[in-house]
Chains A and B, each alone.
Chain A
Amino acid sequence: MATLIPNALDFHDWLPIRTRLDAEGWRIDWARFGTQPLAEPFFRDSTELALRRPFNQVFRRDTAIDALLDWQQRSPGIAPTAFVFHASRCGSTLIARMLSRLPGYTVLSEPSPLDALLRAHYTTPPIAADQPTLIRAMLSAYGQRRRGTERALVVKLDAWNIFELPLLRQCFPTTPWLFLYRDPLEIVVSQIRQPGMHLVPGLIGATPLAFPQDEVNAMSHPEFVARTIGRMLAAGLEQCRAHGGLAVNYDELPDGVTGRLASFFGLAESDLPIAQDGSRHNAKHPHQVFQSDRDSKHRDASDEIRAAVDQWARGPYAELEALRLARVL
Protein backbone atom coordinates (compact mmCIF):
# COMPACT_ATOMS: atom_id res chain seq x y z
CA MET A 1 0.00 0.00 0.00
CA ALA A 2 2.82 2.40 0.93
CA THR A 3 4.40 1.96 -2.50
CA LEU A 4 1.32 3.49 -4.11
CA ILE A 5 1.76 6.74 -2.22
CA PRO A 6 4.07 9.20 -3.96
CA ASN A 7 7.07 10.51 -2.06
CA ALA A 8 6.29 14.18 -1.97
CA LEU A 9 3.32 14.05 0.38
CA ASP A 10 2.00 17.32 1.70
CA PHE A 11 1.89 17.28 5.51
CA HIS A 12 0.76 20.89 5.85
CA ASP A 13 -1.94 20.36 8.48
CA TRP A 14 -0.87 16.88 9.60
CA LEU A 15 0.84 16.17 12.93
CA PRO A 16 2.84 13.16 14.15
CA ILE A 17 0.69 11.18 16.57
CA ARG A 18 2.95 8.24 17.29
CA THR A 19 6.58 7.18 16.95
CA ARG A 20 7.10 3.43 16.87
CA LEU A 21 9.62 0.79 15.93
CA ASP A 22 8.39 -2.15 13.89
CA ALA A 23 9.93 -4.74 11.57
CA GLU A 24 10.36 -2.09 8.86
CA GLY A 25 12.24 0.28 11.19
CA TRP A 26 11.21 3.50 12.93
CA ARG A 27 7.88 4.84 11.75
CA ILE A 28 5.59 7.80 12.30
CA ASP A 29 1.80 7.73 12.39
CA TRP A 30 0.27 11.02 11.28
CA ALA A 31 -3.24 12.43 11.64
CA ARG A 32 -4.69 15.39 9.84
CA PHE A 33 -5.63 18.08 12.33
CA GLY A 34 -6.71 20.70 9.83
CA THR A 35 -7.10 23.98 11.70
CA GLN A 36 -8.09 22.21 14.94
CA PRO A 37 -6.32 24.09 17.75
CA LEU A 38 -4.50 22.03 20.39
CA ALA A 39 -6.86 23.36 23.04
CA GLU A 40 -7.20 20.22 25.15
CA PRO A 41 -5.16 19.77 28.36
CA PHE A 42 -2.89 17.15 26.76
CA PHE A 43 -1.74 16.45 23.20
CA ARG A 44 -3.15 12.92 23.45
CA ASP A 45 -6.64 14.39 24.05
CA SER A 46 -6.29 16.53 20.92
CA THR A 47 -5.12 13.41 19.06
CA GLU A 48 -8.15 11.38 20.14
CA LEU A 49 -10.35 14.23 18.97
CA ALA A 50 -8.64 14.29 15.57
CA LEU A 51 -8.93 10.50 15.29
CA ARG A 52 -12.68 10.71 15.82
CA ARG A 53 -12.96 12.29 12.40
CA PRO A 54 -13.86 9.59 9.86
CA PHE A 55 -11.20 11.04 7.55
CA ASN A 56 -8.40 10.06 9.93
CA GLN A 57 -9.77 6.57 10.43
CA VAL A 58 -9.41 5.97 6.71
CA PHE A 59 -6.65 8.24 5.44
CA ARG A 60 -4.28 8.76 8.35
CA ARG A 61 -0.73 8.15 7.29
CA ASP A 62 1.97 5.77 8.35
CA THR A 63 5.40 6.69 6.99
CA ALA A 64 9.03 5.84 7.55
CA ILE A 65 10.54 8.25 10.07
CA ASP A 66 12.61 9.85 7.28
CA ALA A 67 9.44 11.51 6.02
CA LEU A 68 10.03 13.99 8.88
CA LEU A 69 13.35 15.06 7.36
CA ASP A 70 11.93 15.40 3.88
CA TRP A 71 8.98 17.46 5.15
CA GLN A 72 11.26 19.73 7.19
CA GLN A 73 13.31 20.48 4.07
CA ARG A 74 10.25 21.34 2.04
CA SER A 75 8.38 23.22 4.76
CA PRO A 76 10.42 24.29 7.79
CA GLY A 77 8.19 25.08 10.78
CA ILE A 78 8.59 27.56 13.61
CA ALA A 79 11.44 26.50 15.91
CA PRO A 80 10.40 25.93 19.54
CA THR A 81 10.27 29.21 21.43
CA ALA A 82 10.19 27.75 24.96
CA PHE A 83 10.45 24.40 26.72
CA VAL A 84 8.65 23.64 29.96
CA PHE A 85 10.11 20.86 32.12
CA HIS A 86 8.54 19.97 35.44
CA ALA A 87 8.50 17.60 38.38
CA SER A 88 4.82 16.60 37.85
CA ARG A 89 1.78 18.01 39.71
CA CYS A 90 3.43 21.44 39.66
CA GLY A 91 1.11 23.52 37.48
CA SER A 92 2.69 22.84 34.08
CA THR A 93 -0.72 22.01 32.62
CA LEU A 94 -1.98 25.34 33.95
CA ILE A 95 0.80 27.15 32.06
CA ALA A 96 -0.07 25.20 28.92
CA ARG A 97 -3.75 26.09 29.27
CA MET A 98 -3.03 29.77 29.72
CA LEU A 99 -0.82 29.93 26.63
CA SER A 100 -2.89 27.68 24.36
CA ARG A 101 -5.68 30.26 24.41
CA LEU A 102 -3.51 32.68 22.47
CA PRO A 103 -4.05 32.58 18.70
CA GLY A 104 -0.32 33.07 18.09
CA TYR A 105 0.69 30.08 20.22
CA THR A 106 0.95 26.39 19.51
CA VAL A 107 1.30 24.57 22.82
CA LEU A 108 2.32 20.92 22.74
CA SER A 109 1.48 19.32 26.03
CA GLU A 110 3.43 16.12 26.66
CA PRO A 111 3.40 14.85 23.07
CA SER A 112 4.14 11.12 23.24
CA PRO A 113 5.73 10.96 19.74
CA LEU A 114 8.45 13.35 20.98
CA ASP A 115 8.89 11.46 24.26
CA ALA A 116 9.33 8.21 22.33
CA LEU A 117 12.00 9.81 20.13
CA LEU A 118 13.81 11.46 23.06
CA ARG A 119 14.11 8.09 24.83
CA ALA A 120 14.57 5.85 21.77
CA HIS A 121 18.31 5.36 22.35
CA TYR A 122 17.79 3.65 25.72
CA THR A 123 16.32 0.62 23.98
CA THR A 124 17.74 1.10 20.44
CA PRO A 125 21.27 2.54 20.80
CA PRO A 126 22.00 2.83 17.04
CA ILE A 127 19.38 5.57 16.66
CA ALA A 128 21.51 7.91 18.81
CA ALA A 129 23.45 9.24 15.82
CA ASP A 130 20.23 10.34 14.07
CA GLN A 131 18.28 11.48 17.11
CA PRO A 132 19.18 15.21 16.98
CA THR A 133 18.26 15.48 13.30
CA LEU A 134 15.02 13.58 13.81
CA ILE A 135 14.02 15.55 16.90
CA ARG A 136 14.57 18.85 15.07
CA ALA A 137 12.54 17.56 12.12
CA MET A 138 9.71 16.36 14.35
CA LEU A 139 9.43 19.73 16.06
CA SER A 140 9.51 21.38 12.64
CA ALA A 141 6.45 19.30 11.75
CA TYR A 142 4.73 20.42 14.96
CA GLY A 143 5.74 24.02 14.25
CA GLN A 144 3.84 24.30 10.94
CA ARG A 145 1.47 27.25 10.64
CA ARG A 146 -1.80 25.34 10.34
CA ARG A 147 -3.98 28.32 11.22
CA GLY A 148 -1.75 31.01 9.77
CA THR A 149 -1.55 33.03 13.01
CA GLU A 150 1.12 31.02 14.82
CA ARG A 151 4.30 32.76 15.96
CA ALA A 152 5.31 30.71 19.02
CA LEU A 153 5.77 27.01 19.72
CA VAL A 154 5.84 26.12 23.41
CA VAL A 155 6.63 22.51 24.26
CA LYS A 156 5.72 21.11 27.64
CA LEU A 157 7.51 17.81 28.13
CA ASP A 158 6.71 14.75 30.19
CA ALA A 159 8.07 15.01 33.74
CA TRP A 160 10.60 12.21 33.20
CA ASN A 161 12.06 14.01 30.14
CA ILE A 162 14.21 16.19 32.43
CA PHE A 163 16.84 13.45 31.93
CA GLU A 164 16.75 14.03 28.16
CA LEU A 165 17.22 17.79 28.51
CA PRO A 166 20.85 17.72 27.29
CA LEU A 167 19.73 15.98 24.09
CA LEU A 168 16.95 18.51 23.47
CA ARG A 169 19.37 21.32 24.34
CA GLN A 170 21.80 19.98 21.74
CA CYS A 171 19.00 20.27 19.15
CA PHE A 172 17.86 23.76 20.20
CA PRO A 173 20.73 25.45 22.07
CA THR A 174 19.12 28.90 22.10
CA THR A 175 15.55 28.00 23.07
CA PRO A 176 14.94 29.09 26.68
CA TRP A 177 13.68 26.47 29.11
CA LEU A 178 12.35 26.37 32.61
CA PHE A 179 12.01 23.75 35.30
CA LEU A 180 8.82 23.92 37.34
CA TYR A 181 8.68 22.34 40.80
CA ARG A 182 6.89 22.71 44.11
CA ASP A 183 7.09 21.63 47.73
CA PRO A 184 7.82 17.90 47.35
CA LEU A 185 5.42 16.98 50.16
CA GLU A 186 2.57 18.27 47.96
CA ILE A 187 3.81 16.33 44.91
CA VAL A 188 4.25 13.14 46.90
CA VAL A 189 0.81 13.32 48.52
CA SER A 190 -0.76 13.95 45.10
CA GLN A 191 1.14 11.04 43.54
CA ILE A 192 0.12 8.73 46.38
CA ARG A 193 -3.54 9.74 46.00
CA GLN A 194 -3.48 9.22 42.24
CA PRO A 195 -0.23 7.88 40.77
CA GLY A 196 1.04 9.28 37.49
CA MET A 197 2.43 6.97 34.82
CA HIS A 198 6.01 7.40 36.06
CA LEU A 199 4.98 6.28 39.55
CA VAL A 200 3.95 2.84 38.26
CA PRO A 201 7.18 0.84 37.94
CA GLY A 202 7.84 -0.31 34.37
CA LEU A 203 4.87 1.47 32.78
CA ILE A 204 6.67 4.14 30.78
CA GLY A 205 9.57 1.99 29.57
CA ALA A 206 13.27 2.74 29.84
CA THR A 207 14.11 5.95 31.73
CA PRO A 208 16.94 7.07 34.01
CA LEU A 209 14.18 7.97 36.49
CA ALA A 210 13.46 4.31 37.22
CA PHE A 211 15.00 2.39 40.07
CA PRO A 212 15.97 -1.27 39.57
CA GLN A 213 12.98 -3.50 40.36
CA ASP A 214 14.71 -5.27 43.26
CA GLU A 215 15.38 -1.90 44.88
CA VAL A 216 11.75 -0.86 44.36
CA ASN A 217 10.60 -4.10 45.98
CA ALA A 218 12.65 -3.24 49.06
CA MET A 219 11.04 0.23 49.46
CA SER A 220 7.81 1.17 51.20
CA HIS A 221 5.39 2.96 48.84
CA PRO A 222 5.94 6.43 50.40
CA GLU A 223 9.69 5.88 50.14
CA PHE A 224 9.40 4.87 46.47
CA VAL A 225 7.33 7.94 45.62
CA ALA A 226 9.54 10.32 47.64
CA ARG A 227 12.74 8.94 46.08
CA THR A 228 11.29 9.16 42.56
CA ILE A 229 10.21 12.77 43.08
CA GLY A 230 13.54 13.53 44.79
CA ARG A 231 15.40 12.10 41.83
CA MET A 232 13.45 14.35 39.44
CA LEU A 233 14.09 17.44 41.56
CA ALA A 234 17.80 16.58 41.73
CA ALA A 235 17.92 16.17 37.95
CA GLY A 236 16.10 19.48 37.47
CA LEU A 237 18.59 21.18 39.79
CA GLU A 238 21.58 19.67 38.03
CA GLN A 239 20.31 20.62 34.57
CA CYS A 240 19.42 24.16 35.64
CA ARG A 241 22.98 24.60 36.86
CA ALA A 242 24.61 22.97 33.84
CA HIS A 243 22.36 24.34 31.09
CA GLY A 244 21.06 27.65 32.38
CA GLY A 245 17.44 26.73 32.98
CA LEU A 246 15.02 28.97 34.83
CA ALA A 247 13.85 27.50 38.14
CA VAL A 248 10.15 28.27 38.72
CA ASN A 249 8.11 27.41 41.80
CA TYR A 250 4.44 26.45 41.60
CA ASP A 251 3.80 29.21 44.15
CA GLU A 252 4.55 31.77 41.43
CA LEU A 253 1.57 30.59 39.38
CA PRO A 254 -0.59 31.71 37.78
CA ASP A 255 0.48 35.38 38.12
CA GLY A 256 4.10 34.62 37.27
CA VAL A 257 3.14 33.55 33.75
CA THR A 258 2.00 37.05 32.87
CA GLY A 259 4.55 38.64 35.24
CA ARG A 260 8.09 37.37 35.67
CA LEU A 261 7.69 34.82 32.82
CA ALA A 262 5.96 37.10 30.27
CA SER A 263 9.16 37.84 28.41
CA PHE A 264 10.37 34.24 28.76
CA PHE A 265 7.25 33.14 26.85
CA GLY A 266 7.38 36.16 24.52
CA LEU A 267 3.97 37.46 25.59
CA ALA A 268 2.77 40.76 24.17
CA GLU A 269 0.84 43.25 26.29
CA SER A 270 -2.39 42.30 24.53
CA ASP A 271 -1.81 38.60 25.31
CA LEU A 272 -1.79 39.10 29.07
CA PRO A 273 -5.53 39.34 29.83
CA ILE A 274 -6.29 36.38 27.53
CA ALA A 275 -3.67 34.23 29.26
CA GLN A 276 -4.91 35.31 32.70
CA ASP A 277 -8.43 34.22 31.79
CA GLY A 278 -7.08 30.72 31.19
CA SER A 279 -6.02 30.36 34.82
CA ARG A 280 -9.49 30.51 36.32
CA HIS A 281 -10.33 26.88 35.79
CA ASN A 282 -8.82 23.57 36.86
CA ALA A 283 -6.22 22.91 34.16
CA LYS A 284 -6.78 19.17 33.81
CA HIS A 285 -10.56 19.33 34.33
CA PRO A 286 -11.45 22.62 32.63
CA HIS A 287 -15.13 22.51 33.67
CA GLN A 288 -14.11 22.75 37.33
CA VAL A 289 -13.09 26.05 38.89
CA PHE A 290 -9.50 25.92 40.14
CA GLN A 291 -9.12 25.53 43.89
CA SER A 292 -5.88 25.17 45.75
CA ASP A 293 -5.73 21.91 47.68
CA ARG A 294 -2.48 22.70 49.41
CA ASP A 295 -3.95 22.53 52.90
CA SER A 296 -5.60 19.17 52.31
CA LYS A 297 -2.37 17.81 50.84
CA HIS A 298 -0.47 18.83 53.96
CA ARG A 299 -3.21 17.40 56.22
CA ASP A 300 -3.10 14.08 54.31
CA ALA A 301 0.59 13.59 54.87
CA SER A 302 1.39 10.90 57.43
CA ASP A 303 4.53 11.03 59.55
CA GLU A 304 6.00 8.31 57.33
CA ILE A 305 5.42 10.41 54.20
CA ARG A 306 6.87 13.51 55.85
CA ALA A 307 9.96 11.60 56.92
CA ALA A 308 10.45 10.09 53.46
CA VAL A 309 10.08 13.49 51.79
CA ASP A 310 12.53 15.07 54.21
CA GLN A 311 15.06 12.30 53.63
CA TRP A 312 14.82 11.95 49.85
CA ALA A 313 13.39 15.12 48.30
CA ARG A 314 13.73 18.08 50.66
CA GLY A 315 17.44 18.61 49.85
CA PRO A 316 17.21 19.23 46.09
CA TYR A 317 14.04 21.29 46.65
CA ALA A 318 15.87 23.61 49.03
CA GLU A 319 18.72 23.98 46.54
CA LEU A 320 16.30 24.77 43.70
CA GLU A 321 14.71 27.40 45.90
CA ALA A 322 18.11 28.93 46.65
CA LEU A 323 18.91 29.00 42.94
CA ARG A 324 15.55 30.58 42.11
CA LEU A 325 15.63 33.19 44.88
CA ALA A 326 19.15 34.23 43.97
CA ARG A 327 17.77 35.19 40.61
CA VAL A 328 14.40 36.64 41.60
CA LEU A 329 15.59 38.81 44.48
Chain B
Amino acid sequence: MPDALPLCARLPIAIHIEPLLAALARVPADAWQPHFNTGYFSGDWSGVALIAPANAVLELAPGSGEPKPTKVFAGDPAWQAALNQIDAPIRSARLLRLGPGAAIREHADFDLAGPDSDLRIHLPLRSHEAVEFLLEGHLVPMRPGECWFLDLSRPHRVDNPSPHDRIHLVLDCQRSPWLLQAIAAGAPTTPTLGLSRGRRAFAEFQALIAADANLADALLAIEEHKQFIETVVALGQQHGHAFSEEDVQSVMRQSRQRWQQQWMA
Protein backbone atom coordinates (compact mmCIF):
# COMPACT_ATOMS: atom_id res chain seq x y z
CA MET B 1 0.00 0.00 0.00
CA PRO B 2 1.43 3.42 -0.92
CA ASP B 3 2.08 5.92 1.84
CA ALA B 4 -0.72 8.40 2.48
CA LEU B 5 -0.20 11.77 0.83
CA PRO B 6 0.76 14.66 3.11
CA LEU B 7 -1.51 17.66 3.61
CA CYS B 8 0.90 19.51 1.32
CA ALA B 9 4.55 19.47 0.26
CA ARG B 10 6.94 21.85 -1.43
CA LEU B 11 8.53 19.95 -4.29
CA PRO B 12 12.34 20.04 -4.48
CA ILE B 13 12.42 21.74 -7.89
CA ALA B 14 13.26 25.36 -8.74
CA ILE B 15 10.95 27.20 -11.13
CA HIS B 16 12.49 29.88 -13.35
CA ILE B 17 10.02 32.59 -12.57
CA GLU B 18 11.16 35.40 -14.90
CA PRO B 19 10.19 33.77 -18.23
CA LEU B 20 6.81 32.89 -16.71
CA LEU B 21 6.21 36.44 -15.51
CA ALA B 22 7.14 37.71 -18.97
CA ALA B 23 4.71 35.22 -20.54
CA LEU B 24 2.05 36.25 -18.03
CA ALA B 25 2.45 39.89 -19.07
CA ARG B 26 1.78 38.83 -22.69
CA VAL B 27 -1.56 37.15 -21.85
CA PRO B 28 -4.29 39.34 -23.39
CA ALA B 29 -6.52 41.01 -20.82
CA ASP B 30 -9.65 39.61 -22.46
CA ALA B 31 -8.38 36.05 -22.05
CA TRP B 32 -9.27 36.14 -18.32
CA GLN B 33 -12.62 34.54 -17.61
CA PRO B 34 -14.56 34.58 -14.33
CA HIS B 35 -14.27 31.33 -12.40
CA PHE B 36 -17.20 29.00 -13.05
CA ASN B 37 -17.84 28.31 -9.38
CA THR B 38 -19.50 31.62 -8.55
CA GLY B 39 -20.96 30.54 -5.20
CA TYR B 40 -17.62 30.17 -3.49
CA PHE B 41 -15.89 33.51 -3.77
CA SER B 42 -16.20 37.25 -3.45
CA GLY B 43 -14.31 39.81 -5.55
CA ASP B 44 -12.27 38.99 -8.68
CA TRP B 45 -11.61 35.25 -9.08
CA SER B 46 -10.79 34.52 -12.69
CA GLY B 47 -8.58 32.37 -14.83
CA VAL B 48 -7.03 31.53 -18.18
CA ALA B 49 -6.97 27.94 -19.42
CA LEU B 50 -3.60 26.79 -20.80
CA ILE B 51 -4.41 23.10 -21.06
CA ALA B 52 -8.02 22.00 -20.76
CA PRO B 53 -9.84 18.67 -21.12
CA ALA B 54 -11.35 18.41 -24.60
CA ASN B 55 -14.83 17.75 -23.22
CA ALA B 56 -14.85 20.33 -20.40
CA VAL B 57 -18.09 22.31 -20.44
CA LEU B 58 -16.11 25.45 -19.65
CA GLU B 59 -12.39 25.89 -20.28
CA LEU B 60 -11.69 26.42 -16.56
CA ALA B 61 -13.85 23.52 -15.39
CA PRO B 62 -12.62 19.97 -14.78
CA GLY B 63 -13.27 17.24 -17.33
CA SER B 64 -12.17 13.74 -18.11
CA GLY B 65 -11.36 14.14 -21.83
CA GLU B 66 -8.04 14.29 -23.64
CA PRO B 67 -6.06 17.37 -22.49
CA LYS B 68 -5.81 20.01 -25.24
CA PRO B 69 -3.48 23.02 -25.25
CA THR B 70 -5.22 26.36 -25.76
CA LYS B 71 -4.19 29.23 -28.04
CA VAL B 72 -2.64 31.12 -25.14
CA PHE B 73 -0.50 28.10 -24.28
CA ALA B 74 0.55 27.47 -27.87
CA GLY B 75 1.45 31.13 -28.34
CA ASP B 76 4.20 31.17 -25.70
CA PRO B 77 6.93 28.50 -25.32
CA ALA B 78 7.64 29.62 -21.72
CA TRP B 79 4.58 27.66 -20.51
CA GLN B 80 5.71 24.41 -22.10
CA ALA B 81 9.22 24.98 -20.71
CA ALA B 82 7.85 25.23 -17.17
CA LEU B 83 5.64 22.17 -17.59
CA ASN B 84 8.61 20.17 -18.89
CA GLN B 85 9.91 20.19 -15.29
CA ILE B 86 6.91 18.11 -14.19
CA ASP B 87 7.25 14.47 -15.23
CA ALA B 88 3.57 13.52 -15.00
CA PRO B 89 0.65 13.56 -17.45
CA ILE B 90 -0.89 17.03 -17.12
CA ARG B 91 -4.68 16.96 -17.40
CA SER B 92 -5.22 20.66 -16.99
CA ALA B 93 -3.17 23.82 -16.56
CA ARG B 94 -4.76 27.12 -15.58
CA LEU B 95 -3.66 30.58 -14.57
CA LEU B 96 -5.85 31.52 -11.61
CA ARG B 97 -6.10 35.09 -10.40
CA LEU B 98 -7.49 36.27 -7.07
CA GLY B 99 -7.85 40.04 -7.26
CA PRO B 100 -7.20 42.63 -4.55
CA GLY B 101 -9.65 42.20 -1.66
CA ALA B 102 -11.02 38.95 -3.08
CA ALA B 103 -11.60 35.78 -1.06
CA ILE B 104 -12.49 32.15 -1.76
CA ARG B 105 -14.71 30.67 0.93
CA GLU B 106 -13.82 27.43 2.68
CA HIS B 107 -14.59 24.39 0.54
CA ALA B 108 -13.16 20.98 -0.37
CA ASP B 109 -12.58 19.73 -3.93
CA PHE B 110 -13.97 16.23 -3.75
CA ASP B 111 -12.87 15.39 -7.31
CA LEU B 112 -9.33 15.41 -5.87
CA ALA B 113 -10.15 12.76 -3.23
CA GLY B 114 -9.53 9.04 -3.57
CA PRO B 115 -6.52 6.82 -4.20
CA ASP B 116 -6.40 7.40 -7.98
CA SER B 117 -7.41 11.05 -8.12
CA ASP B 118 -5.42 13.70 -9.94
CA LEU B 119 -2.93 15.64 -7.83
CA ARG B 120 -3.07 19.42 -7.80
CA ILE B 121 0.16 21.38 -8.11
CA HIS B 122 0.46 25.13 -7.48
CA LEU B 123 3.20 27.34 -8.95
CA PRO B 124 2.79 30.80 -7.41
CA LEU B 125 3.68 33.51 -9.94
CA ARG B 126 2.56 36.69 -8.21
CA SER B 127 1.64 36.95 -4.55
CA HIS B 128 1.89 39.15 -1.49
CA GLU B 129 2.75 38.33 2.10
CA ALA B 130 -0.73 39.37 3.24
CA VAL B 131 -2.32 36.64 1.08
CA GLU B 132 -3.48 33.72 3.19
CA PHE B 133 -3.95 30.24 1.75
CA LEU B 134 -5.47 28.19 4.58
CA LEU B 135 -5.55 24.42 4.30
CA GLU B 136 -7.43 22.76 7.17
CA GLY B 137 -6.89 25.99 9.06
CA HIS B 138 -3.10 25.97 8.51
CA LEU B 139 -1.36 28.77 6.66
CA VAL B 140 0.53 27.40 3.64
CA PRO B 141 3.53 29.70 3.06
CA MET B 142 3.74 29.45 -0.76
CA ARG B 143 6.09 31.87 -2.52
CA PRO B 144 6.71 32.71 -6.19
CA GLY B 145 9.38 30.46 -7.70
CA GLU B 146 8.21 27.45 -5.66
CA CYS B 147 6.18 24.43 -6.67
CA TRP B 148 3.69 22.91 -4.20
CA PHE B 149 1.51 19.85 -3.98
CA LEU B 150 -1.67 20.56 -1.96
CA ASP B 151 -4.30 18.03 -0.94
CA LEU B 152 -7.29 20.21 -1.79
CA SER B 153 -9.77 17.43 -1.14
CA ARG B 154 -9.42 18.80 2.40
CA PRO B 155 -11.09 22.06 3.47
CA HIS B 156 -9.29 25.18 2.27
CA ARG B 157 -9.89 28.88 1.75
CA VAL B 158 -7.94 31.81 0.34
CA ASP B 159 -7.99 35.44 1.34
CA ASN B 160 -6.26 38.27 -0.53
CA PRO B 161 -6.60 41.43 1.56
CA SER B 162 -3.63 43.01 -0.31
CA PRO B 163 -3.91 45.64 -3.06
CA HIS B 164 -2.22 43.25 -5.55
CA ASP B 165 -3.30 40.38 -7.77
CA ARG B 166 -2.43 36.90 -6.61
CA ILE B 167 -1.79 34.67 -9.66
CA HIS B 168 -0.89 30.97 -9.53
CA LEU B 169 -0.25 28.49 -12.32
CA VAL B 170 -2.37 25.51 -11.22
CA LEU B 171 -1.85 22.03 -12.64
CA ASP B 172 -3.91 18.88 -12.29
CA CYS B 173 -1.58 15.94 -12.85
CA GLN B 174 -2.14 12.23 -13.07
CA ARG B 175 -0.14 10.34 -10.50
CA SER B 176 3.27 9.30 -11.77
CA PRO B 177 6.18 7.65 -9.94
CA TRP B 178 8.22 10.83 -10.44
CA LEU B 179 5.53 13.05 -8.95
CA LEU B 180 4.89 10.80 -5.93
CA GLN B 181 8.63 10.62 -5.35
CA ALA B 182 8.97 14.42 -5.63
CA ILE B 183 6.18 14.87 -3.04
CA ALA B 184 7.85 12.41 -0.67
CA ALA B 185 11.29 14.00 -1.23
CA GLY B 186 9.90 17.49 -0.62
CA ALA B 187 8.07 16.71 2.62
CA PRO B 188 11.11 16.96 4.95
CA THR B 189 12.12 20.43 3.67
CA THR B 190 8.60 21.82 3.39
CA PRO B 191 8.36 24.93 5.59
CA THR B 192 6.26 24.61 8.74
CA LEU B 193 2.64 25.58 8.26
CA GLY B 194 1.62 28.64 10.24
CA LEU B 195 -1.50 30.09 11.79
CA SER B 196 -3.66 32.61 9.98
CA ARG B 197 -3.98 36.17 11.30
CA GLY B 198 -7.42 35.32 12.62
CA ARG B 199 -6.20 32.17 14.33
CA ARG B 200 -3.21 33.99 15.83
CA ALA B 201 -5.53 36.68 17.18
CA PHE B 202 -7.78 33.93 18.49
CA ALA B 203 -4.85 32.22 20.26
CA GLU B 204 -4.11 35.53 22.00
CA PHE B 205 -7.75 35.74 22.99
CA GLN B 206 -7.60 32.19 24.40
CA ALA B 207 -4.62 33.23 26.55
CA LEU B 208 -6.60 36.24 27.74
CA ILE B 209 -9.52 34.00 28.75
CA ALA B 210 -7.19 31.57 30.53
CA ALA B 211 -5.95 34.45 32.68
CA ASP B 212 -9.23 36.28 33.27
CA ALA B 213 -11.64 34.35 35.50
CA ASN B 214 -14.51 36.83 35.13
CA LEU B 215 -14.50 36.73 31.33
CA ALA B 216 -14.17 32.93 31.43
CA ASP B 217 -17.12 32.60 33.84
CA ALA B 218 -19.29 34.77 31.61
CA LEU B 219 -18.48 32.63 28.55
CA LEU B 220 -18.89 29.34 30.45
CA ALA B 221 -22.48 30.31 31.20
CA ILE B 222 -23.49 30.64 27.52
CA GLU B 223 -24.96 27.33 26.37
CA GLU B 224 -26.31 28.38 22.98
CA HIS B 225 -23.77 28.10 20.14
CA LYS B 226 -24.70 31.08 17.97
CA GLN B 227 -24.89 33.43 20.92
CA PHE B 228 -21.59 32.06 22.22
CA ILE B 229 -19.77 32.64 18.92
CA GLU B 230 -21.14 36.16 18.53
CA THR B 231 -20.15 37.01 22.09
CA VAL B 232 -16.65 35.62 21.61
CA VAL B 233 -16.09 37.63 18.41
CA ALA B 234 -17.41 40.81 20.04
CA LEU B 235 -15.25 40.30 23.17
CA GLY B 236 -12.24 39.70 20.93
CA GLN B 237 -12.86 42.97 19.08
CA GLN B 238 -13.28 44.77 22.37
CA HIS B 239 -9.87 43.54 23.56
CA GLY B 240 -8.07 44.18 20.28
CA HIS B 241 -8.05 40.61 18.94
CA ALA B 242 -9.63 40.59 15.49
CA PHE B 243 -10.95 37.22 14.33
CA SER B 244 -14.10 36.13 12.55
CA GLU B 245 -17.01 33.84 13.40
CA GLU B 246 -15.55 31.49 10.78
CA ASP B 247 -12.30 31.33 12.80
CA VAL B 248 -14.24 30.39 15.97
CA GLN B 249 -16.33 27.84 14.10
CA SER B 250 -13.23 26.22 12.63
CA VAL B 251 -11.62 26.01 16.11
CA MET B 252 -14.79 24.35 17.45
CA ARG B 253 -14.97 21.95 14.52
CA GLN B 254 -11.34 20.90 14.94
CA SER B 255 -11.79 20.52 18.68
CA ARG B 256 -14.76 18.18 18.17
CA GLN B 257 -12.86 16.22 15.51
CA ARG B 258 -9.80 15.82 17.75
CA TRP B 259 -11.99 14.47 20.53
CA GLN B 260 -13.84 12.04 18.27
CA GLN B 261 -10.70 10.76 16.57
CA GLN B 262 -9.68 8.91 19.74
CA TRP B 263 -12.55 6.44 19.16
CA MET B 264 -11.45 5.75 15.59
CA ALA B 265 -8.19 3.92 16.20
Contact = CB atoms under 8 A, between A and B. Distances in A.
Interface of A: 1, 4-6, 9-10, 18, 20, 29, 32, 34, 51, 53-55, 57-61
A54 B255 contact: no
Given A4-B204, A59-B219, A54 B225 contact: yes
A54 B222 contact: yes
Contacts of B189: none
A91 B200 CA distance: 50
Contacts, number: 55
What is the size category of the interface that chain B forms with chain A?
A: 20 to 34
Contacts of B232: 58
A54 B207 contact: no
A57 B223 contact: no
Contacts of A5: 206-207, 210
A1 B205 CA distance: 11
A58 B236 CA distance: 13
B229 interface: yes
Contact of A59 (B195, B210, B225, B262): B210
Contacts of B13: none
A54 B220 CA distance: 8
Closest CB pairs A-B (n = 10): A54-B228, A4-B207, A57-B252, A55-B220, A1-B203, A57-B255, A5-B210, A55-B219, A54-B225, A5-B207
A288 to B, nearest CB: 26
Contacts of B195: 1
Contacts of A61: 210
Nearest to A55: B220
A4 B206 contact: yes
Interface string B63-81: 0000000000000000000
Contacts of B130: none
Nearest to B199: A1
Nearest to B254: A57
